[in-house]
């Protein structure tokens, strides 16, 4: 089947009403029940005076409330502004003002965070706790596939988040094409590790399940032990995430005793982790993926029928109708139907995001094979120079991850008087495993050029206290700041 442009509401209306659509913590919903909840949310919004084109913010964890509001807003042509649940009051206020949100829907508390107090501090004109919405019957609205669906604020690896404007067609087609690549079937049960306020959770989990008609299984937040329990109990067949998420699952003490039914999904991970996903998690058809919020988000993805080694090495083709080129600086640049309309209320940042001939600058480094497959190398801004040699953190992280005791690894460049910069590594260890920093460094010295061997290495219990974004990525800038203080640099 080929893609036919539709709105979110059209997909929701055409699903088998009796099929299971969503499993959350202790609750289950059919597509009929999910549609009814979305219509109730839409009616509540209209009762509050929210209409087509208005922007509405959602500040709450994954669950049926989040999806009901998102889908409900889409039914009446309103635009969802997902708010990161790790944001503080000033950051929430920034997103609301920058997006021009007409309303904020929130939960009072989550993970011991008092969102109610934050909301009262910033005093948005229209803030509504999820349990205090007025009732209202949804009135029909004409919505088109090219209308805006969502404003995605970037995950915070830069100082000021920017809100990428994405349409129904951007996100739904991206979900359709990605699901086709990973081979989604209506009977699949897709476990979502990603927060809904991130495009990995909205486009590539919730909407992917919706357009392909399978069941989405999710938890309020990612915790490896709880995720493993739900994966086993719900007999989930698909899962997705980045390298950190998969490393945390496989490194958890409960992992060996869980009987999982995983078949495939996608991962944004290096070869060491991709190999482990196939061999340890049993995901024989897992696909490699690369993307960014500004591209809705997926740019390239393997096909589940590709040769295993291609998928392990992360060599993937662009989605149909999406083009890629590599600049002279080795930057990946993209154009096509999935690209954002621009950043909300930020014409300067929008202009900087594109080349003069209209290609999106990703800020990522990559290589193209002769047959057009992309291999993502690392972040352009993360690359550092050691005595004249360019070092991409991913290159060093791959060597560290090959050590049998290492669960996760993060590498940054730190100042050095003689060489300019040198590698600094932070690692976590697998449950039940032990190793010293000296042992790990000796392992690396035998497997990497001397300029890639970390000058500093620290074993840590986790990255939460240092600065992990809620999308599961470690913020390299915050990690570097931490290293400078820790090592007195």
**Within-domain flag for 1:** no
pLDDT above 70 (res 317): yes
391: domain CATH number is 3.30.300.30
Q: Is residue 3 part of a domain?
A: no
188-238: pLDDT as tens digits: 999 999 999 999 999 999 999 999 999 999 999 999 999 999 999 999 999
Domain boundary among 368, 392, 410: 368
Q: How many domains, the chain?
A: 2
For the segment 51-76, the average pLDDT, to the nearest whole number, is 98
CA distances (Å), origin 290, targets 110, 275, 365, 373, 456:
31, 17, 11, 12, 30
Task: Evaluate whether residue 378 is within a structural domain.
Answer: no
Calpha distance 63→220 (Å, rounded): 6
456 belongs to a structural domain: yes
In which domain, by residue range, is 240 found?
8-368
Q: Is the bond preceding 297 in cis, omega lying within 30 degrees of 0?
A: yes
Bridge partners (DSSP) of residue 384 are 391
Query: Do 174 and 301 belong together in one domain?
Result: yes
Instruction: Give me the percent of the chain exceeding a pLDDT of 90.
Output: 84
Q: Based on the domain organization, do 348 and 422 belong to the same domain?
A: no
Distance CA(371)–CA(421), nearest Å, equals 36
Residue where one domain finishes, among candidates 342, 368, 394: 368
Residues 394 and 353 in one domain: no
CA 272/CA 127 separation, integer angstroms: 46
Are residues 244 and 121 located together in one domain of the fold? yes
**Pair 134, 233 in one domain:** yes
Residue 63 lies in a domain: yes
Same structural domain, 272 and 215: yes
Selection from 196, 262, 223, 253 nearest residue 60 by Cα? 196
Buried b (16+ CB within 10 A) or exposed e, 66-83: bbbbbbbbbbbbbbbbbb
Predicted confidence at residue 292, as pLDDT, reads: 93
Please give the average per-residue pLDDT across 149-153, as a whole number. Answer: 97
Q: What is the 3-state secondary structure (H, E, C) of 141-180?
A: CCCCCCCEEEEEECCCCCCCCCEEEEEHHHHHHHHHHHHH
Once rounded to an integer, what is the mean pLDDT over residues 414-428?
92
* Residue that wins the pLDDT comparison between 91 and 144: 144
What span, in angstroms and rounded, lies between the C-alpha atoms of 137 and 76? 12
Beta bridge mates, 193: none
Residue 374 is assigned to a structural domain of this protein: no
Cα(256)–Cα(460) distance, integer angstroms: 23
* H-only helix segments in 24-167: 31-47, 64-75, 89-99, 115-122
Question: Which residues are 458's β-sheet partners?
Answer: 426
Band of residue 374 on the pLDDT scale cut at 50, 70, 90: very high
Q: Are residues 114 and 61 in the same domain?
A: yes
Residue 259, in any domain of the structure = yes
Residue 261 pLDDT > 90, yes or no?
yes
Quote the percentage of the chain above a pLDDT of 70. Answer: 98
Q: How high is the pLDDT of residue 471? A: 64
* Reported confidence tier of residue 382, pLDDT bands at 50, 70, 90: confident
pLDDT at 469: 67
How far apart CA 101 and CA 45 sit, in angstroms, is 13
The mean pLDDT of the chain is: 94
Q: pLDDT confidence of 470, banded at 50, 70, 90?
A: low
Which of the two residues, 30 and 390, has the higher pLDDT score?
30
CATH for 67: 3.40.50.12780
Same-domain check for residues 280 and 428: no
Specify whether 49 is located in the same domain as 144. yes
Q: What is the pLDDT of residue 476?
A: 86
What is the structure's pLDDT at 31? 98
Domain end, chosen from 368, 396, 418, is at 368
How many residues are listed for the chain in this entry? 489
pLDDT band at 158 (very low <50, low <70, confident <90, very high): very low
Report pLDDT digits (tens) over 5-61.
999 999 999 999 999 999 999 899 999 999 999 999 999 999 999 999 999 999 999
Query: Do 284 and 431 sit in the same domain of this protein?
Result: no
CA gap 57, 81 in Å, rounded? 4
Q: Are residues 26 and 155 in the same domain?
A: yes
pLDDT of residue 451: 87
Q: Is residue 468 part of a domain?
A: yes
Asked whether residue 131 falls in the same domain as residue 47, the answer is yes
* Residue from 353, 389, 204, 183 nearest 290 by CA: 204
């Amino acid at each position: 089947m080929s893609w036919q442009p539709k709105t979110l509401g059209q997909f929701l209306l055409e699903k088998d009403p009796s099929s299971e659509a969503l499993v959350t913590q202790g609750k289950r919903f059919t597509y009929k029940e999910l549609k009814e909840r979305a219509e109730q949310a839409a009616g509540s919004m209209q009762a509050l005076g929210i209409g087509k084109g208005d922007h509405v913010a959602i500040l709450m964890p994954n669950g049926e409330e989040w999806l009901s509001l998102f889908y409900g807003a889409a039914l009446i042509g309103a635009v969802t502004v997902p708010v990161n649940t790790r944001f503080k009051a000033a950051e929430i206020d920034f997103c609301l003002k920058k997006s021009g949100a007409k309303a904020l829907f929130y939960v009072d508390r989550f993970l011991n965070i008092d969102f109610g107090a934050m909301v009262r501090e910033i005093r948005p004109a229209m803030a509504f706790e999820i349990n205090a919405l007025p009732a209202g019957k949804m009135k029909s609205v004409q919505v088109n596939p090219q209308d805006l669906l969502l404003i995605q604020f970037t995950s915070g690896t830069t100082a000021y988040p920017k809100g990428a404007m994405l349409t129904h067609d951007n996100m739904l087609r991206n979900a359709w094409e990605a699901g086709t690549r990973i081979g989604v079937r209506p009977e699949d049960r897709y476990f979502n590790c990603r927060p809904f306020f991130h495009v990995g959770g909205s486009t590539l989990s919730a909407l992917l399940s919706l357009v392909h008609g399978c069941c989405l299984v999710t938890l309020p937040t990612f915790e490896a032990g709880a995720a493993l329990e739900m994966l086993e109990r719900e007999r989930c067949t698909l899962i997705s995430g980045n390298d950190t998420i998969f490393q945390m699952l496989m490194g958890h003490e409960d992992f060996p005793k869980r009987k999982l039914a995983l078949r495939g999904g996608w991962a944004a991970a290096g070869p060491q982790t991709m190999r482990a996903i196939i061999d340890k998690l049993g995901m024989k058809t897992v696909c490699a993926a690369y993307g960014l919020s500004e591209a809705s988000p997926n740019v390239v993805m393997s096909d589940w029928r590709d040769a295993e080694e291609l998928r392990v090495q992360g060599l993937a083709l662009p989605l149909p109708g999406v083009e890629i080129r590599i600049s002279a600086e080795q930057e990946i640049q993209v154009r096509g139907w999935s690209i954002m309309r621009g950043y909300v209320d930020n014409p300067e940042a929008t202009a900087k995001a594109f080349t003069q001939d209209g290609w999106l600058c990703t800020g990522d480094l990559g290589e193209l094979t002769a047959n057009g497959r992309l291999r993502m190398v690392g972040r352009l801004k993360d690359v550092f120079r050691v005595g004249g040699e360019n070092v991409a953190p991913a290159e060093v992280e791959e060597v560290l991850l090959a050590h049998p005791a290492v669960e996760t690894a993060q590498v940054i460049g730190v100042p050095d008087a003689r060489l300019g910069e040198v590698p600094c590594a932070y690692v976590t260890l697998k449950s039940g495993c032990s190793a010293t920093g000296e042992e790990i460094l000796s392992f690396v010295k035998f497997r990497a050029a001397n300029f890639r061997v970390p000058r500093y290495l620290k074993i840590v219990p986790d990255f939460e206290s240092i600065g992990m974004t809620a999308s599961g990525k470690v913020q390299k800038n915050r990690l570097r700041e931490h290293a400078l203080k820790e090592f007195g640099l």
